[in-house]
Structure 1
């Protein structure tokens, strides 16, 4: 019986996904006095920092696809890319907004997509 080997990046993605799912990662960012909105760059950086803190691994490469508007229930999508090119989707969901601070939860998809 042949057992497939998983690359180090796949293991890393699995560890991040497991860490996010088990710990229930969340974040909070202060955005200023106008309508609360978090830029996709700042969101990606915050998600990467929270994932690193949750898993105890180096900060991953995260890209978010749109700004996150600070309204409870709003969601956004980000992508974590491993060194081998495989990708793991991440959803952020606004849990509360307090003055100029957006609080959100982070949940990784169940499975990574292979490198293209």
Structure 2
């Protein structure tokens, strides 16, 4: 991992933390292992990430060097996954979710027009 990428990852994770999200370091897709790019590498990651402060998050830059992706811990965060490739249908479903739940404060587009809409809940869930 380059120093610039490490700084960018740390900045992103700290920004998420400061906005009341709980970042999770996730293995990068370059790692030759099952589900690389989609899973955390650290033991007890749920507990560690739930309690992580800024110092802990900053330590991940060196302690989790293969974790070049970032996820978010759920609990009070849910995702509505509009997992369709038809642009018109994806747009209709996204509008439907927005009409029902309000605008998403955070979204992610992987392979457009697929989109993940993130919403917070008042009460945590399992």
Instruction: Report the TM-score when normalising by structure 2.
Output: 0.26
| TM-score under structure 1 length normalisation | 0.28
Higher relative contact order (CA 8 A, sep 6+): 1
- Which has the larger strand fraction? 1
Asked which structure has the greater CA Rg, the reply is 2
